[in-house]
Structure 1
């Protein structure tokens, strides 16, 4: 846990003082946790995870794949329609995917979600149905939108489409969030 706490804290741009203020734990104690000189109780670990905005289970992981740096290889994606990128990374504030849309708009039961979404068409062509309006996007085109409105994609043309999708749970400015 020690190296992970320090890595996520630094990734967040937090000082040890700020982490202490956010957890109610002392700076000295947190320093010992980061250096592996102290193992936090479950209650302390929950406070640390909450202040760092990560899943507490990730902080206790012995899995060497849980990290604050991730590389995604094209060969690892296979033929999946939706492939999460950096799924084991700690402290993500975005959720990236590589999507290969089908030829029909999906009948997804949850076509909306809180936050914002960014699409970049890497290959092929797609149609984006955003709030009932359909827009064609070619390779190299992108879209950025409030994900609280209904949205879905479909492939158009013969070439297999590949779209990089990045979601964030941060609300769009003026839609109930700061900004």
Structure 2
């Protein structure tokens, strides 16, 4: 476990990330799935790239091919239609990245997703289904093929709307993430 290898207690990590010890313990045990914003905080505090929190050591390569079977799930996965948002890291074996790509299947209810805000920018592309993004001041509905690009410091959250759980490509800039 990376935290222990660095000689950090749960309290040390909680202090650095402004998260609770209880929540961090659940993440470590796979009982809670961290949001992208939380994963960015953890990677910065632990001085690693996000994918190193959830996958194998990265290999420096100029080209990285990721087959669907090679996606790295973040945390405990729920069956389709489950209450929790499903995240998959897309470029886990790539070397240093300035962009962090994820596939997300958002939950159908905003109540399971708090507003998130973090440094950098985000690009969301709806691959399948429909989503609604809540920017606190207004909500935007997007369908398959639609995209949105925004400053990630704007509070935001999303949910699947419609009959099927949506599948969304999320790309987050990672200039601030520790190398």
1:105·1:153 contact (CA, 8 Å) conserved in 2?
Answer: yes
Give me the whole-angstrom Cα distance separating, in 2, the residues matched to 1:74 and 1:113: 28
Where do 5+ consecutive residues of structure 1 fail to align?
Answer: 1-53, 172-179
Match of 1:72 in 2: 66
SS in 1 for 2:110: coil
Give me the whole-angstrom Cα distance separating, in 2, the residues matched to 1:116 and 1:168: 5
- Report deviation, 1:108: 4.5
TM-score when normalising by structure 1: 0.54
- Report deviation, 1:90: 1.1
Match of 2:143 in 1: 138
TM-score when normalising by structure 2: 0.54
Match of 1:122 in 2: 127
Match of 2:41 in 1: none
Name the count of aligned residue pairs: 113
2:134·2:158 contact (CA, 8 Å) conserved in 1?
Answer: yes
SS in 1 for 2:148: strand
1:106·1:154 contact (CA, 8 Å) conserved in 2?
Answer: no
Higher mean C-alpha displacement, 146-155 vs 129-138? 129-138
Instruction: Tell me, yes or no, if structure 1 residue 85 matches structure 2 residue 90.
Output: yes
Residue-by-residue CA offset, 1:92-139 (whole Å, 9 max, x unaligned)? 000110000000125556610001000000000000112331110000
2:122·2:170 contact (CA, 8 Å) conserved in 1?
Answer: yes
Match of 1:103 in 2: 108
- Looking at CA atoms only, which structure, 1 or 2, has the larger radius of gyration? 1
